[in-house]
Structure 1
Amino acid sequence: MSVDYLLQIIGPILEGAKNTILLFLIAIVLSIPLGFGITLLANSSIKLLSWLAHTFIYITRGTPLLLQLLFFCFGLPMLPIIGDYLVFDRFVAAGLAFILNYAAYFAEIFRGGLLSIDKGQHEAAQVLGLSKWQTMTKVIVPQMIRVALPSLANESITLVKDTALLYAVAVPELLHFAQTAVNRDFTITPFVLAGIIYLLMTLVLTLLFKGLERRFKFE
């Protein structure tokens, strides 16, 4: 493994890593608030909304992410009548699949966090004269986040690794360029380099969530 060879392949691999990181950022930024919103709908007193939210979670968590990727990238345009209006750029379609998939998982994580909060917290907030909005934002949500953070961290790290599924729908990302180099040069060095990049990304996430856990622990 020469330095010259590493310099030759690092450029394309880092170019692919840009798409990996971009997809991760888009998915994490949009799926977390969407997941929280789905959690609120699932706990709604309006039965239709609650049923829709639970059904969405069940279907999304019960089918493989790869199947969902294939459906959004290749299945949507084949739908009768509306298919012509659902033709998206491959990256956009994959992003939608990731956002919806992880929103369902985050919704379940938030639901677990809400269930861990004692009902007495709501009663105490009412005694203090807090409105429902104040109770949710100042009492319930901070405690829920404290409980949910470890699971959020694990799911976020899984998201980083799942971005490799873009390879299956021909979106050029980190693994795509590594595989191309392996096929061309008959060496596993590009795979090793790709693995190091994935490990660095997960290390950054691990340190970030550890810092958040320490902060919420002492609040």
Structure 2
Amino acid sequence: MTSATAADYSWIRSSGSPFRYALEYGYTLTLVRGVSPDELLRVADAEPRGVCEGLAELIERHQELLDESDDWPESFLAGAFSVEGEGGSWTLALEFGGDLGTRPSFMEALSPGTRAVSHSSNGGKPMDFFHWYENGELRTTFEWPADRSGSTPDELNAMMREVGLNPSGDQDPGIHRKAAVFALTERLTGVRVTEELLAGAEYRTGEVPEEPVE
């Protein structure tokens, strides 16, 4: 297990960070062990859209999809690539304005026999979620660290404290909560997400349909 803390992810807030677009617009980042990028996109019912060379091109393609729609688009672009982590190969999936990692049906279908972790933000609104699935089961999820649910809502409490999240009360204002969530995700996956990793990855992409409103 890594010893990552919020300090290791201070880069996400820097003015030149490639992740600033994700924080401003909204994103979902999902990591799953032992599932290929192609399989992840298949489970998401994504229509293949080729490869993006780096994060800048993924952002550009996302903007093009928005520009092609007169209203809010009925689909979003997801990009996925392989990366090494704890226990072998993981797939990292990233989308802007999408919600794959927050969809229970998707995460349950993705995680039997393995682990899947996601975190997300809807941009300017203060809604940020974390989800940990193990063997098809939602183990721990939260928006605010002190308000957790899942089958084992308290299992990560010690780890949360170590990365800078307070599972029992108010958050330390000196610690960036999103950076701490990145660190918690690294501890569960062994995958360190860096500027260089996101900027230089080859993303296999797919267009994912929005879920119908129930």
TM-score (norm 2): 0.27
Which structure shows the higher strand fraction?
2
Larger Rg, first or second structure (1 or 2): 1
Which structure shows the higher helix fraction?
1
